[in-house]
Amino acid sequence: MRQPFRGTLTYCLMVFVLIDQVLTLVAAKLNGHLSSRYGATDDIAVVTPITDGDGKIADNARNRLALFVTNISEDAMPRKGSSRGVSALGQVVVAAPLHLDVFVMLAAVYDPKTYTEGLKVLSAALTYFQTFPVMTPQNTPNLPRQVKQLTIEISNLRMEEVSQMWGNLGGSYVPSVMFKIRTVSLTSDAVIKIDPTIHEPVASATPKEEPAS
């Protein structure tokens, strides 16, 4: 059976839908913490780019913590390969899960008059992720079923990397922190091949007739 191509549109859509679910969940957990701390009724953290198509501050990012993706890469850590199962047709070989590292920026997009407020909520967000850096089905029941564990850690950038990134984003720098979310695991359930079961021929139990003399 021909090996499926991971770059197909369907597989890519599955990847980005899962990332959407993960980021939405991270933002919801962070909002729960910030709401209990500051008594906010509206979401403080939102999953959104900072700027709109015209390069202006996006309306839903203004005076909020904006959470957005900056890079996606495959986790290079060696892991278990494809898995095997048994069906009526033989041994079924299923594609190995795709383990991803998702780099996200958490930026305090606050107006000059509320700049210090932005620093305050960004600090609170850092404290939250330092206290709760791991999400599992046990402490996060609504974690997508494909994900066994998420680890959220700070990814440090050099000054020249910060300058280059904000230049690519097309905006002025705002207080922000880069995080690496690892590992987003996507199980495609794609069957690579089926190895038919080979059966030994069964010997006949009927005795061979002797030719007539």
Nearest C-alpha neighbor of 73 from the set 182, 159, 189: 182
Higher pLDDT, 160 or 86: 160
- Please give the pLDDT value at position 172: 85
Q: What is the pLDDT of residues 116-126, one digit of tens each?
A: 999 999 999 99
201/210 Cα distance (integer angstroms)? 24
3-state secondary structure of 188: coil
Mean confidence (pLDDT) of the chain: 78
Q: What is the pLDDT of residues 125-147, one digit of tens each?
A: 999 999 999 999 899 988 888 78
The owner of tokens 């030994």 is 200
C-alpha separations of 84 from 164, 187, 199 in Å: 45, 14, 19
- The angle formed by the CA atoms of residues 52, 17 and 118, to the nearest 5 degrees, is 45
| pLDDT classification of 110: cutoffs 50, 70, 90 | very high
- Please give the pLDDT value at position 191: 41
DSSP state of 198: P
8/20 Cα distance (integer angstroms)? 19
